[in-house]
Structures are given as C-alpha cells and as structure tokens.
Amino acid sequence: MMLKTFILLALLIPGQSPAPKNVSSEALGAVQYEVRYKLGALDTKVADATISLEKGKWEQQAVLHSHASIRASSIFRLFLNAEYIADAYLTPGGQEPVYSFNPIKKGGKEGKFACTYDRKAKTITTEFVKPPADPVTQTLPLDGKTMDMLSLLQYVRFQNFKAGESRSLRLMMGANTVSATLNFQGADTERFPGVKAERFVLKMVERGLMENGSGSEITVWRSAGADRRILGLETALSSGVMVAAVKE
C-alpha cells in the first residue's frame, strides 16, 4: 500500500517538446506534501511526503538527483510501511532517467530494487535484492520513453506541452513496464486558488495502480511558475479517493 501511495506521488514521443537544457535554481530544493484518503464524509491524513531535486553526480556524470520519502501517519503505520524511500538520477535537463533505486528493509535485512537505463543499448537492467534470496536481474527493452514513477514526476515538471497534447510512454511497475498516456489539459484556475496551475491526466492502459484494477487514472497539477513544482495528485480507488497536495 505504501508503494501505491508513492506511485500516486509518484508521472512520449521522441522529438516532441524538448525539455529545458538547464533547470532553473527555483526548481531545486525540497517540497513537502500531505497525503489524504477521502470517502464520503471521511477525510483523513494517511502520510507525509517530501520530494526533492538537486544537482549531483552519478558515476561521474552530471545529473539531477530526485529523492522522495513517504512516512505513514499514526495508526496507518499498522497497515503501511512506516517509511518508503526512492531515488532517481536524471539527465541534466530532467527529461530522462539514468538510474533509479528503492531501498528495501524487512526483518532486519536490507535489500533494494534498482533500474539502470542504457539508451545506447536500448535496455533497462533491473536488479532485485531481497536477502537471504540470491539477487535477481533481468534485462528489458527500452521502448520509446520509459521511466519510473519518480522520474515521471520530474518529466511532468520540465517538459513543454501544448494544450490537449497527449504522449505515449511506458512506466516501470515493479520489474515490468506498462503502457500509459499523458494528456496536458492546460490551465486550471479552480483547484489551487491564487496559484497558476496546469493540469495533466495520466491514464494507464494495461492496468491500474491497485491489484483490483482501480487507480488507472491519475490527475497531476504542476505550478506554471518558475519553480514548476508538483502541486498535487489525485486518483480514484475502488472505494474512495487518494489525494496528495503541497503543504503551504
């Protein structure tokens, strides 16, 4: 469930709308979010989240490093992992992932799930380490624009779109990729009053976030200002709605 909450936060056709060559200083730093579950009159906080973006290095390459952490609230720690962490390293323009990493802690043992993107070879190498089992690696084709969820959020921030434009992409869901479309719906003056916001809709073609198929459509809002920060996300589940919004 914590993974599904991250995916909520957690969002192409080659040659269209190139990303900025340089990411502005206003876009760097950390942004905090509150995650809530709503069902009828029920409206309860389930987690706090932070997503940051800084300039960095990965294997001697200049990259953008995005870090995300989600910490479950109070009683929900009984049902969710206490904390979920993800890291993504992207090209300097913020348009393509180079490497992504999720540490796994269970039963006092530490593991990981990692993806290495090789665009020259057009492959993604995944590595799943869960002690005491042996590491499991596999190689997947790098189809068009393929990325993990955290990288997708940064992609949404820094790409330029025309109103009504849709793009095809593939998302990493565990050790597999699934088809999705990302549609830019233009300015939204209602969801975040007083803030210049833009709305996107991500639709998963093959499956939803949840095992029962729900969560196949995610609405994402980004700032139209220089910071281009993600303002919020929302997805309908089989029962209720999960909502993440920036803390002011």
What tokens does 179 get?
């088809």
Share of the chain above pLDDT 90, in %: 50
DSSP strands (E only) in 17-96: 29-39, 42-58, 61-72, 83-90
Q: Using an 8 Å Cβ cutoff, are 230 and 157 in contact?
A: yes
Which residue would you say has higher pLDDT here, 31 or 76?
A: 31
- Bridge partners, residue 188, by sequence: 197
Q: Using an 8 Å Cβ cutoff, are 5 and 70 in contact?
A: yes
pLDDT tens column, 200-229? 999 987 655 555 454 578 999 999 998 999
Q: Is 150 helix (H, G, I), strand (E, B) or coil?
A: helix
Whole-angstrom Cα distance, residue 174 to residue 25?
A: 32
> What pLDDT, on a 0 to 100 scale, did the predictor assign at position 79?
45
* Least confident segment among 13-27, 132-146, 159-173: 13-27
pLDDT grade, residue 144 (50/70/90)? confident
> What pLDDT, on a 0 to 100 scale, did the predictor assign at position 65?
95
Share of the chain above pLDDT 70, in %: 82
* Least confident segment among 25-34, 55-64, 213-222: 213-222
* Alpha carbon 14 to its chain's center: 20
Q: Measuring CA to CA, how many Å separate 235 from each of 84, 208, 219?
A: 19, 10, 6
> What pLDDT, on a 0 to 100 scale, did the predictor assign at position 132?
79
Q: Which of 74-83, 92-101, 121-130 has the highest mean pLDDT?
A: 121-130
pLDDT grade, residue 19 (50/70/90)? very low
pLDDT tens column, 146-188? 999 899 999 999 999 998 999 999 988 877 888 899 999 999 9
| DSSP character at residue 44 | E
Whole-angstrom Cα distance, residue 19 to residue 235?
A: 26
Residue 18 has pLDDT above 70, yes or no: no
| Mean pLDDT, the chain, whole residue set | 82
> What pLDDT, on a 0 to 100 scale, did the predictor assign at position 182?
94
